[in-house]
C-alpha cells in the first residue's frame, strides 16, 4: 500500500506503512528496514571456537556474541568474511552457510545469515571506532554451556552456535 520514511539513518530506515492484512483490515505500522547482516562461528580448531565479548551501549554492558555485522553492498558470505577479518583477525579457507534468522519480524525485515568458518588464518584485525571487542577462544561445548546458563543471551549468536554444534555432531538432528 503506501509508505513514508519517518526516519532515515546510516544503518536503518523507519517507515510508516499503511498495511492491508489478509482479513482486509488496513492499519498504519512502524517498520524498520534493514539491509541484513551476517554472523559467523569461527572454528579455531575442530573443537574450539572464537567468541567475542562486545560492549553494547543499547543494553548498557558487555555481552557474549559471535562475530557479526551489517551487509554493506555485498553478498552475505562476503560480509561474513569481512566481519571475521575485522572483528577477530581471521580469514577462513572454508565458509559454510548454516541458515538464517529473522531477528524481530514484528517490526523489522532484518535477516541475519549464519555461517561457520573453518581453516582459519591469522590476519590483521580492523576493529571499528564504535566497537570494543575482546576475542575469547573456548571449546564449542563451553559456548553451548554459555547458552544453557543464560550467560550468552544474544539470539543470533545462540542460534549460530546451536547450528554449528549440530553440524559438528554435538546435538541430535
Read off the pTM: 0.92
Distance between CA atoms of 28 and 73, rounded to whole angstroms?
30
Hey, where are the domains in the chain?
A: 3-32, 35-167
The one catalytic residue among 48, 83, 96, 129: 129
Quick check: 128 pLDDT over 80?
no
Per-residue pLDDT at 129: 76
Give the pLDDT score at 169: 93
48 is catalytic: no
For position 102, what pLDDT does the model report? 97
**13 CB-near residues (< 8 Å, 6+ apart):** 5, 7, 32, 33
Q: What is the CB neighbour count within 10 angstroms for residue 62?
A: 14
| Residue 75: pLDDT over 90 | yes
Least confident residue range of 8-22, 24-38, 57-71, 92-106: 8-22
pLDDT value, residue 126: 81
pLDDT band of 114, cuts 50, 70, 90: very high
d(CA 53, CA 143) in angstroms, rounded, equals 12
| Residue 12, pLDDT score | 80
% residues pLDDT > 70 (the chain): 99
Q: What is the pLDDT of residue 30?
A: 92
Q: For the chain, what is the mean pLDDT?
A: 94
pLDDT tops 90 at residue 93: yes
Q: Which CATH superfamily is domain 35-167 in?
A: Nucleoside Triphosphate Pyrophosphohydrolase (3.90.79.10)
> Rounded to whole angstroms, how far apart are CA atoms 13 and 33?
5
Does 131 have pLDDT greater than 80?
Answer: no
pLDDT at 65: 98
Amino acid at each position: 500500500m503506501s509508505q513514508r520514511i519517518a526516519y532515515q539513518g546510516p544503518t536503518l530506515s523507519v517507515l510508516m506503512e499503511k498495511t492491508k492484512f489478509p482479513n482486509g483490515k488496513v492499519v498504519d505500522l512502524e517498520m524498520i528496514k534493514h539491509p541484513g547482516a551476517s554472523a559467523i562461528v569461527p572454528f579455531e580448531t575442530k573443537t574450539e571456537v572464537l567468541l567475542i565479548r562486545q560492549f553494547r551501549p543499547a543494553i548498557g554492558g558487555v555481552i557474549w556474541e559471535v562475530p557479526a555485522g551489517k551487509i554493506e553492498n555485498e553478498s552475505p558470505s562476503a560480509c561474513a568474511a569481512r566481519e571475521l577479518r575485522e572483528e577477530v583477525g581471521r580469514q577462513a579457507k572454508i565458509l559454510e552457510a548454516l541458515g538464517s534468522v529473522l531477528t524481530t519480524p514484528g517490526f523489522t525485515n532484518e535477516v541475519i545469515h549464519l555461517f561457520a568458518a573453518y581453516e582459519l588464518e591469522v590476519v590483521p584485525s580492523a576493529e571499528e571506532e564504535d566497537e570494543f571487542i575482546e576475542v575469547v577462544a573456548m571449546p564449542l561445548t563451553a559456548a553451548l554451556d554459555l547458552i544453557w546458563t543464560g550467560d550468552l543471551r544474544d539470539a543470533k549468536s545462540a542460534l549460530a552456535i546451536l547450528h554449528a554444534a549440530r553440524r559438528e555432531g554435538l546435538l541430535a538432528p
